Amino acid sequence: MSRVPCAIVGSGNIGTDLMYKLQRSPLLELGAMIGVDPDSDGLARARALGIDATHEGVDWLLERADRFSIVFEATSAWVHRQNAPRYAEAGLQAVDLTPAKLGPLVVPPVNLAANLAAGNVNLITCGGQATTPIVHAVARVCDVPYAEIVSTVASLSAGPGTRQNIDEFTKTTSSALVEVGGAAYGKAIMVLNPADPPILMRNTVFCALGDGYDRDRVGQSILDMVAEVSRYVPGYRLKNEPVFDEDLFHTPGGEVKARVVALLEVEGAGDYFPPYAGNLDIMTASAVRVGEAMAGAGA
Amino acid sequence: MTPRFRLTDSTLRDGSHAIAHQFTVEQVRRVVKALDGAGVPVIEVSHGDGVGGSSFNYGFSHTDEMVLIRAAVEEATQAKIAVLMVPGIGTKDDLRKAAEAGARVARIAVHCTEADISQQHIALAHELGMESVGFLMMSHMIEPEALVAQARLLESYGAGTVYVVDSAGAMTMDDARRRVAAVKAAVSCQVGIHAHNNLSLAVANSLAALEEGVDQIDGCTTGLGAGAGNCPTEALVATCEKSGIPTGVDPLRIMDAAQDAVRQIRPDMGVIDRDGLLLGYAGVYGSFLLHAKRAAERYGVDTKAILLELGERKVVGGQEDMIIDVAVELQRRAAAAQNAG
């Protein structure tokens, strides 16, 4: 079976990390790397690998759209909003790694199968990919009136796109906790830590637990989900067993008597950025997972 | 006489940390009335972690902070109401709501190396007609030259004031002096200092900063604030009065405000106990203190051990979740040691 041809638009940190992962895919063939900056490190690396690389932007891609089936957008939310209608018109299926949130929000172990036919799917944010599965794991076994996540990444791993639009990160992630995770209310917090040596990406998930929750079932469901995510993000792990706290918590989703806290760490595969940048890794690993499923479904 | 600096009282924002964000409308009205009457020109009102801070991670607010801001605006006759906003925790929507509620000063707070995440929020403050302040938290963690680069960024985004913020109360007088002098020499906007009292140096550091030409100083009445507390507004004003430094605030009335309106909120404020001192000593973010005490109780471990490990890990403001991480880890280690022994 021949591999399905795809392209990456955006030659920054995320796009370049994705390039290395796609190189290893048995189902996808990376045909082009598209940027706008002739001096981009990502484009130079693509050329070194023998991949078509251009700084002529998305026009270059659209002139030869028939050569590709899937396009991975690794630019910014603003740029993706400009590009998305043009991809659709050209018949390209888009996997959006920006927080633009145009298509359905997808987290592979939660709702990938249901969205394979969508023309545009959105991968939320790195924090969203790391935490939404856990919220879903809790919500599938009990009521979650409110979920909150704290995502902390090494300063060096946060590029200018993230920095100039930190609100898009928090808003898009918050909505994923509700729309995909299944919580009634959601809040996302992002923290940048400049420590040297850089810290591994950390994510903490707090879920308010509705009355009648079963501690063993909630704990087991979280462990199962961590195992499932770690199949495509090998560095994804719990730092400690899920922590259950009983107290009175006045959450935006109402008063609850208990919460569970999952303390997660994501170590990257070190494809482009060093392993501390688990935030890049989980985004690009999820993108490959989605792209491969699309390819398998006959994109 | 024209005041030598502009005073911002943050009792109703930083003080929120000291009472786990449980301020009521009645407390806010009483405190604003007293501060406003004493001549305090700017009064900050927000969740301790800024607008939008109400959460599991930082503590849920007793009363919606927009309700508190509105009450403060109603009560103030001359003082401007300020809010704090931390990008990554709060959003532009929170800032818009605060402006609608009548807040006129937006203080955008970032870790001292991350100024570039504040650009859109400073721009929004201008759009909303608010005065903008860039607030460089944990300024003790970097050298003056590095701090200068971040201050210049904030100024380039349009910040009217740049603050050197000693969130961990970890600065010696020399530390404060060198940072303020370097920033003051590098920017043409105003410069402020926000001091904590973990090393018992908050008033001294503020006055040292004043000698280096600082334009604005933060205080909290009775010191009510994170860690061992902030620069006590009434002590700062009294000291300035005795030193011939005009503040625009009536020293006796601010003492009354402290005693009659604020002291009852947390009578033990101002005590520098071992844990408070440890924050300054180890350079740990001040608002971690109550969370660490609670985690110590919840997981049966020692507060001191938690604080020292947090200092070791170089966690920054906002990473309160790491307190649970450290406490659970210490609990696990203790259990393993017991099993082994």
| Predicted confidence (pLDDT) at residue B151 exceeds the cutoff of 80 | yes
Cβ proximity of B164 and B179 under 8 Å: yes
**Partner-chain contact A160 B116, CB within 8 Å:** yes
B333 touches chain A (CB under 8 A): no
DSSP codes of every residue in B256-284: HIIIIIIGGGSTTTT---HHHHHHHHHT-
Closest to A107 (Cα-Cα) out of A172, A13, A12, A39: A172
pLDDT value of residue A159: 83
Number of H helices, E strands in chain B: 14, 8
Boundary of a domain, candidates B245, B262, B279:
B262
Domain identity same for B238 and B111: yes
| Beta-strand pair A254-266/B42-45 | unpaired
In a domain, B28, yes or no: yes
pLDDT in tens, B192-225: 999 999 999 999 999 999 999 999 999 999 999 9
In angstroms, the CA A221 to CA A147 distance is 16
Beta bridge partners of B43: B9, B81
**What is the mean pLDDT of the segment spanning B301-327?**
94
Q: Retrieve residue A239's tokens.
A: 């730092």
Position of tokens 């605006």? Answer: B73
Cβ proximity of B123 and B134 under 8 Å: no
Number of H helices, E strands in chain A: 10, 12
In a domain, B152, yes or no: yes
> Which three-class secondary structure state does DSSP give residue A264?
strand
In angstroms, the CA A285 to CA A21 distance is 7
Beta bridge partners of B18: none
Q: Which residues of A touch B320 (CB under 8 A)?
A: 150
In a domain, B215, yes or no: yes
| pLDDT tens digits in sequence order for chain A, 299 residues long | 689 999 999 999 899 999 999 999 999 999 999 999 999 999 999 999 999 999 999 999 999 999 999 999 999 889 999 999 999 999 999 999 998 999 999 999 999 999 999 999 999 999 999 999 999 999 999 999 999 999 999 999 988 878 888 999 999 999 999 999 999 999 999 999 999 999 999 999 999 999 999 999 999 999 999 999 999 999 999 999 999 999 999 999 999 999 999 999 999 999 998 999 999 999 999 999 999 999 988 65
Residue A170, min C-alpha distance to chain B (Å)? 7
Domain identity same for B230 and B324: no
Domain identity same for B247 and B295: no
pLDDT value of residue A164: 86
Q: How many domains does chain B have?
A: 2
Domain identity same for B308 and B169: no
* Percent of chain B scoring above 90 in pLDDT: 96
**Partner-chain contact A150 B325, CB within 8 Å:** no
B334 touches chain A (CB under 8 A): no
Q: Retrieve residue B210's tokens.
A: 């004043």
**What is the mean pLDDT of the segment spanning B48-77?**
98
**Partner-chain contact A204 B88, CB within 8 Å:** no
pLDDT value of residue A68: 97
Q: A185-189, B132-136, B186-190, B286-290 — which is least confidently predicted?
A: B286-290
Give me the total of CB pairs closer than 8 Å, taking one residue from chain A and one from chain B. Answer: 95
Domain identity same for B303 and B180: no
In angstroms, the CA B155 to CA B153 distance is 5
pLDDT value of residue A297: 81
**What is the mean pLDDT of the segment spanning B15-43?**
98
pLDDT value of residue A1: 60
Restricting to B residues 72-91, those with a Cβ less than 8 Å away from any Cβ of A are: 87-89, 91
Domain identity same for B249 and B329: no
Domain identity same for B313 and B188: no
Please state, as a whole number, how many other Cβ atoms lie within 10 Å of the Cβ of residue B132: 23
Q: What contacts A57, CB < 8 A, 6 or more positions away? A: A34, A35, A36
| Domain CATH number, residue B188 | 3.20.20.70
Q: Which residues of A touch B88 (CB under 8 A)?
A: 166, 169-170, 189-192
**What's the full length of chain B, in residues?**
341
Domain identity same for B168 and B207: yes
**Partner-chain contact A194 B316, CB within 8 Å:** yes
Catalytic site includes residue B140: no
pLDDT value of residue A199: 94
Position of tokens 């902070």? Answer: B65
B319 touches chain A (CB under 8 A): yes
In a domain, B273, yes or no: no
Report ipTM for this prediction: 0.95
In a domain, B246, yes or no: yes
| Domain CATH number, residue B299 | 1.10.8.60
pLDDT value of residue B77: 98
pLDDT value of residue A165: 85
| Predicted confidence (pLDDT) at residue B341 exceeds the cutoff of 70 | no
In a domain, B13, yes or no: yes
The residue type found at A265 is E
In a domain, B50, yes or no: yes
In a domain, B276, yes or no: no
Which residues from A are below 8 Å from B when comparing CB atoms? 148, 150, 152, 155, 160, 163-167, 169-171, 187, 189-195, 202, 204, 206, 208, 239-240, 243, 245, 249-252, 259, 261, 263
pLDDT value of residue B340: 79
Restricting to B residues 288-307, those with a Cβ less than 8 Å away from any Cβ of A are: 298
In angstroms, the CA B64 to CA B108 distance is 20
In angstroms, the CA B48 to CA B40 distance is 20
Q: Which residues of A touch B139 (CB under 8 A)?
A: none
In angstroms, the CA A62 to CA B12 distance is 56
**What is the mean pLDDT of the segment spanning B58-85?**
98
Domain identity same for B173 and B318: no
Segments forming the whole domain that contains residue B10 = 6-262
Domain identity same for B38 and B112: yes
Beta bridge partners of A266: A201, A236
**What is the mean pLDDT of the segment spanning B96-117?**
98
Q: How far is CA A289 from each of CA A92, A113, B158, rounded to the nearest angstrom?
A: 18, 11, 43
| Predicted confidence (pLDDT) at residue B297 exceeds the cutoff of 90 | yes
* Region class of A298: left (phi > 0), else alpha (psi between -120 and 50), else beta: left
Q: Is the pTM of this model over 0.90?
A: yes
Name which of A150, A193, A243 is nearest B316 (Cβ-Cβ).
A193
Name which of B89, B117, B319 is nearest A163 (Cβ-Cβ).
B117
**Partner-chain contact B324 A261, CB within 8 Å:** yes
In angstroms, the CA A267 to CA B134 distance is 33
**Partner-chain contact A240 B111, CB within 8 Å:** no
Domain identity same for B312 and B234: no
Q: Which of B17, B21, B194, B291 is catalytic?
A: B17
**Partner-chain contact B91 A167, CB within 8 Å:** yes
Name which of B88, B298, B315 is nearest A170 (Cβ-Cβ).
B88
Q: Retrieve residue A291's tokens.
A: 């792209």
**What is the mean pLDDT of the segment spanning B13-28?**
98
Boundary of a domain, candidates B227, B262, B297:
B262
**Partner-chain contact A194 B113, CB within 8 Å:** yes
Restricting to B residues 107-126, those with a Cβ less than 8 Å away from any Cβ of A are: 111, 113-114, 116-117, 119-120
Catalytic residues of A: 126
Domain identity same for B157 and B243: yes
Burial of residue B265 (CB within 10 Å: 0-12, 13-18, 19+) is buried
Residue B136 CB-half CA count within 13 A? 32
